[in-house]
């Protein structure tokens, strides 16, 4: 009776927290699926718990069916049914069978024995498992299209066949069969690595729900707390995939303070909340191949879950609830970044496309004292040669590096590198990424050259070799043997200039791609008294907020 009640509670809870699309005919969905671990950072196992207990089961897409539960903060460990070794220190480490069997530790494999026929329910399976254990044989409950009793974790078929023969003799029954490896299966342990059960995986994806008694309603996965619930999937190229399923507004609680400082002016944080919400809705199902919408990294938006929430950011989300940016009635493409260096970029300068509301605009209130505003990077000719080589480009020894084209916003759109054996030119975003620069907004000084702004506003290169300088020690003449010197530029800022042909100094402004909203600029606007709608409409020309 208790198990039926828990299952009903889980279903009712999911109805109120996570309404189905066919129940609420809203224009926008309420729920998001966030990838926590996937592809290259997929995990072999996950430890789960909640303060007042959890329920572990599976969902066929419509209903949740309970498998095991806890009533306190005890942890369960869920791992893929694969090849592992349990070390003397108690660590469970995955290994590849193609590399041979480990010499140390207890080897665990994904081949099992099934004992007897299917059983009617979990209780009957537990009773039968206890009887098998009394015979001196390990046994545990499995659910694989029905309740069953399995034994053993064999790493190869020969060992399993020997185990099968021994089981038949020990139990004095013939109904013992080998269960082959299956890439869908999951094993559930308690915190002491005692097997609780194996789930076959064919009936639906495993889910972990915090019990209704939990307040706040959160669970923990590998030591990090999240709202909503967890889904566990296995894919050949993403094994295990962990997915946090929760309400979109609650998801934003964990995103906004990860993307902008929570102690920033409130209107700037609100602007970030609306930008993040718009990005979220526009990019739902982006990672559908692996069962989730958005990644929890800079690949989409950084999401740190419940532990990353801050009261001021939650307030910003709540006070802009449901607000999104639209252009001609459709969700806008949203981009944001740290600092523009005084002028944002037209999207065409970076990615080559044309979007009418992503054009270059002045950024008058960015703080020039921000750590993101001014940057500098020096590379030797040998370092540049090495970087090109790693990227598959071989043009010999480096002769020159020059910015061939600048955009109206002051960003490099063509970067030419000449070597003794050839020349290569990089365009748009690649002028930044080839040398891992903070932005496209930079000038290059080398062999005593500086870039200056002429009276007509254009950028020009000026050679310093042979020019007279004035210093505290008097006057002198610059020569190519002067190594690196300091030059005072606009705003009395000091820039390093190489007088050696072997070193190239990149003097830049801004941090990030430069398209859309500058977070430093948004903070500056907020300090000047602008509200979040005014801020967003400045950076995204012609949009509406609804």
Q: What is the 3-state secondary structure (H, E, C) of 152-212?
A: EEECCHHHHHHHHHHHHHHHCCCCEEEECCCCCCEEEEECCCCEEEEECCCCCEEEEEECC
Lowest-confidence range among 40-44, 68-72, 190-194, 390-394? 190-194
Cα 247 to Cα 227: distance, rounded to the nearest angstrom: 9
Query: If pLDDT is split at 50, 70 and 90, which confidence band does 5 have?
Result: very low
Tens of pLDDT along 262-275? 999 999 999 999 99
Alpha carbons 150 and 133: distance in angstroms, whole number: 11
Q: What is the pLDDT of residues 437-469, one digit of tens each?
A: 999 999 999 865 555 556 665 555 565 655 666
For the cut 50, the answer to whether the pLDDT of residue 362 exceeds it is: yes
What's residue 458's pLDDT? 56
pLDDT at 491: 56
pLDDT score for 449:
59
Residue 157 pLDDT exceeds 50: yes
Which pLDDT score, from 0 to 100, does residue 10 have? 40
Query: Tell me: the pLDDT tens digits for 218-255?
Result: 999 999 999 999 999 999 999 999 999 999 999 999 99
Per the prediction, the chain carries an average pLDDT of 89
Q: What is the pLDDT of residue 87?
A: 85
How far is it, in rounded angstroms, from Cα 21 to Cα 23? 5
On the 0-12 / 13-18 / 19+ scale of CB atoms within 10 A, 64 is buried
Residue 481 has pLDDT above 60, yes or no: no
Which of 190-199, 306-315, 363-372 is modeled with the greatest confidence? 306-315
Q: Which residue has the higher pLDDT, 111 or 23?
A: 111
18 confidence band (pLDDT: 50, 70, 90): very low
Average pLDDT in the 21-42 region? 79
pLDDT at 2 over 70: no
- What pLDDT sits at residue 498? 53
How much is the pLDDT for 456? 63
- Cα Rg for the chain, rounded, in angstroms? 30
The whole-number pLDDT of residue 20 equals 40
Peptide bond preceding 240: is omega within 30 degrees of 0, i.e. cis?
A: yes
pLDDT at 26: 39
pTM: 0.83
Residues in CB range of 524: below 8 A, 6 or more apart: 363, 364, 365, 366, 367
E strands along 285-429, which residues? 294-295, 325-327, 330-331, 336-337, 374-380, 398-406, 412-419, 422-427
Q: How confident is the model at residue 478 (pLDDT cuts 50, 70, 90)?
A: low
179, 116 Cβ separation under 8 angstroms: no
Higher pLDDT, 212 or 485: 212
**Residue 412 confidence (pLDDT) above 70:** yes
368's CB contacts (< 8 A; 6+ apart) are 374, 491
pLDDT higher than threshold 60 for residue 500: no
The domain limits of the chain are: 82-181, 336-369+514-545, 374-509
435, pLDDT greater than 80:
yes
Angle at 389 between CA 387 and CA 391, to 5 degrees: 75
pLDDT at 455: 62
Question: What's the pLDDT score for residue 105?
Answer: 84
Q: Cα–Cα distance between 297 and 401 in angstroms, integer?
A: 33
What's the topology of domain 82-181?
Alpha-Beta Plaits (3.30.70)
Q: Tell me how far apart the alpha carbons of residues 330 and 357 are, in angstroms, rounded to a whole number.
A: 12
442 vs 194, 232, 363, 511, CA distance in Å?
Answer: 59, 45, 17, 11
User: Which of 265, 231, 270 is CA-nearest to residue 252?
Assistant: 270
């Amino acid at each position: 009776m208790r198990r039926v009640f828990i299952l009903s509670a889980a279903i009712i809870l999911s109805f109120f927290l996570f309404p189905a699309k066919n129940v609420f005919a809203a224009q926008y969905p309420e729920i998001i699926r966030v990838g926590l671990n996937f592809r290259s950072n997929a995990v072999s196992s996950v430890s789960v718990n909640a303060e007042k207990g959890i329920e572990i089961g599976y969902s066929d897409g419509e209903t949740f069916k309970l498998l095991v539960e806890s009533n306190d903060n005890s942890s369960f460990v869920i791992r893929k049914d694969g090849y592992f070794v349990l070390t003397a220190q108690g660590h469970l480490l995955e290994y590849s069978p193609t590399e041979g069997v480990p010499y140390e530790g207890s080897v665990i494999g994904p081949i099992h024995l099934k004992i007897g026929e299917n059983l009617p329910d979990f209780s009957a399976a537990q009773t039968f498992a206890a009887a098998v254990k009394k015979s001196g044989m390990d046994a545990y409950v499995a659910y694989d299209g029905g309740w069953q009793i399995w034994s053993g974790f064999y790493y190869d078929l020969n060992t399993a066949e020997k185990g099968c023969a021994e089981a038949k003799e020990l139990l004095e029954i013939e109904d013992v069969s080998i269960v082959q490896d299956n890439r869908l299966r999951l094993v559930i342990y308690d915190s002491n690595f005692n097997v609780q059960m194996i789930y076959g995986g064919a009936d639906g994806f495993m889910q972990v729900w915090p019990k209704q008694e939990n307040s706040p309603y959160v669970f923990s996965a590998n030591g990090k707390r999240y709202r909503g619930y967890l889904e566990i999937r296995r894919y050949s190229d993403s094994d295990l995939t962990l997915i946090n399923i929760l309400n979109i507004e609650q998801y934003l609680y964990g995103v906004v303070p990860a993307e902008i400082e929570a102690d920033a002016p409130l209107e700037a944080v609100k602007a970030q909340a609306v930008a993040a919400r718009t990005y979220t809705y526009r990019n739902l199902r982006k990672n559908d191949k692996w069962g989730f919408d958005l990644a929890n990294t800079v690949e989409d938006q950084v999401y740190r879950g419940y532990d990353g929430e801050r009261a001021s950011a939650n307030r910003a989300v709540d006070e802009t609830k449901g607000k999104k940016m639209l252009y001609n009635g459709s969700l806008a493409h949203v981009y944001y970044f740290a600092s523009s260096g005084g002028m944002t970029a037209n999207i065409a300068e970076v990615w080559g496309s044309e979007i009418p509301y992503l054009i270059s605009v002045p950024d008058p209130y960015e703080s020039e004292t921000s750590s993101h505003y001014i940057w500098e990077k020096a590379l030797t000719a040998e370092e540049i040669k090495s970087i090109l080589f790693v990227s598959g480009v071989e043009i010999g020894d480096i002769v020159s590096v020059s910015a061939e084209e600048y955009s109206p916003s002051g960003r490099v759109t063509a970067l030419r590198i000449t070597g003794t054996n050839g020349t290569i030119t990089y365009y748009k975003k690649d002028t930044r990424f080839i040398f891992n620069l903070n932005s496209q907004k930079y000038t290059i000084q080398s062999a005593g050259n500086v870039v200056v702004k002429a009276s007509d506003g254009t950028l020009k290169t000026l050679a310093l070799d042979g020019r007279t300088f004035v210093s505290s020690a008097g006057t002198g003449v610059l020569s190519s043997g002067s190594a690196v010197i300091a030059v005072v530029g606009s705003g009395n800022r000091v820039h390093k200039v190489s007088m050696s042909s072997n070193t190239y100094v990149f003097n830049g402004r801004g941090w990030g791609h430069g398209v859309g909203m500058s977070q430093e600029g948004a903070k500056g606007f907020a300090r000047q008294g602008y509200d979040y709608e005014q801020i967003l409409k400045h950076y995204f020309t012609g949009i509406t907020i609804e």
